[in-house]
Amino acid sequence: MEKRAIGMILTVLGIIGLIYAAITFVNHSGNVYNIKVILTSGILGVIFFFSGIGLIRGTRDVMKNNEHIS
């Protein structure tokens, strides 16, 4: 269950990073610093998002009596 919680946190952080990159892209003033911020937050957002989704999909739920749910 801990891996699934970490996966949810990473997914949310990835979504926040992607939204921040999109807002920065829309409100750009054309200087080089904004491009660095857009690329950094966008790449980190994509990495966090897909690693979180991977953790959520790859983790099975375990019932209290140790039976696995497929």
Instruction: Identify the pLDDT of residue 39.
Output: 92
pTM of the model as a whole: 0.76
Which residues have a Cβ under 8 Å from the Cβ of 55 and sit 6 or more positions away?
3, 4, 6, 7, 10
Q: What is the pLDDT of residue 25?
A: 86
Cα separation, 68 vs 61, whole angstroms: 7
- Reported as a single tens digit per residue, the pLDDT across 2-19 is 888 899 999 999 999 999
Domain boundaries, the chain: 2-58
pLDDT on residue 13: 96
Give the chain's residues under pLDDT 50: none
Tokens of 14: 């990835």
